[in-house]
Structure 1
Amino acid sequence: MIEFETDTDDGARRVAESVSRAFDELAAVQPRGVCLAYWRVTGTNRFLGFLTIEDGSTNPLLEVASTRSLPAAIAAHVYDGYPNPVPVDLIGTYEPDRTSDDR
């Protein structure tokens, strides 16, 4: 997990645009063995990012240009540069069955 706050509102906009481009490319490439999620705290310049890679796998995001360049885009707009990732333990999660027609 990474957590960071950008230096300016413009920096937050640029980071959000970089994240959006990364997700557009991921949707096209569809790498396996990885889960990536970013959140922006509403009304702030604070972001949270989570990356999960299947055990025994290499990071497939390193093969995707927009995700490979994302750390530099973030570092350019954060006071202390790219944040140090912190490991977290999943305690629980819930996601409804997305294969049903009940969406």
Structure 2
Amino acid sequence: MFIVLLVLILLFTFGPALVAVVSQLIAEGLGCQVDLHHVIPCVIGGHDYGQMFYDLGFLIWYSYLTLPIGGALLALWAVAAAVTFVISRKHRPAKEPSC
């Protein structure tokens, strides 16, 4: 359960930045320019994807919200994982010494 929560926290925290960076890399790989000041046309297969890359690039600004919130969630996750680990260690039966 803790691994699933950790993955979800990391996706929430870094998701917007990852989407923005990956979309930038895809656009540049297809020979398009992306600028956050204005939409630059990006014609691929007869369709203009400039607005889409522009909008996806703006997701980077959501990182100003998700990074601090994700950091707090990660700290709570670490405390809960540590408490669970300590409690589970106390409730384990002691091993008998072997000869």
Instruction: Answer yes or no: same fold by TM over 0.5.
Output: no
- Greater strand percent: which structure? 1
Larger Rg: 2
Q: TM-score, normalised by structure 1?
A: 0.28
TM-score by structure 2 length?
A: 0.29
